[in-house]
């Protein structure tokens, strides 16, 4: 196993996920592995407790929490999500997140080009 894969100990994702291409994201403490096909992208996120991601909007997004706890605000409605919870963000909905612990989440984006790879 390479040093790059060992670097982020503790993620719940197995090696087969960690060997997918990594997304190019400019947020310190956020890492994601990309599975892309057709008109969708799936990102397996590993997010340290980085605090708040500011309000933004984009394509539709569906996610399921694997581990951790985050507060998610969608169009002004804030809820806390934990392991097993899922959410849906409609296209264009303004949303933000606050990561309260290390979070592993799988997000499906309704766009083939939401993220680029490194």
- pLDDT tens-digit series, residues 48-85: 999 999 999 999 999 999 999 999 999 999 999 999 99
For the chain, the structural domain boundaries read: 3-109
| CATH 2.60.120.10 correct for 3-109 | yes
pLDDT at residue 10, rounded to an integer: 72
pLDDT at residue 8, rounded to an integer: 56
Q: What is the DSSP letter of 12?
A: S
Q: Exposed, middle or buried, 66 (CB in 10 Å: 0-12/13-18/19+)? A: middle
**Over residues 19-34, mean pLDDT:** 96
pLDDT at residue 9, rounded to an integer: 66
């Amino acid at each position: 196993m390479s040093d790059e894969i060992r670097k982020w100990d503790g993620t719940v994702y197995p090696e087969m996920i960690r060997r997918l291409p990594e997304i190019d994201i400019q947020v310190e403490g956020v890492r994601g592995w990309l599975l892309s096909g057709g008109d969708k992208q799936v990102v397996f996120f590993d997010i340290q407790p980085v605090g708040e991601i500011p309000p933004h909007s984009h394509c539709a997004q569906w996610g399921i929490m694997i581990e951790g706890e985050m507060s998610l605000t969608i169009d002004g409605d804030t809820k806390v999500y934990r392991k097993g919870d899922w959410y849906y963000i409609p296209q264009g909905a303004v949303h933000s997140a606050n990561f309260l612990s290390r979070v592993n989440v799988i997000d499906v984006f309704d766009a083939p080009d939401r993220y680029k790879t490194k």
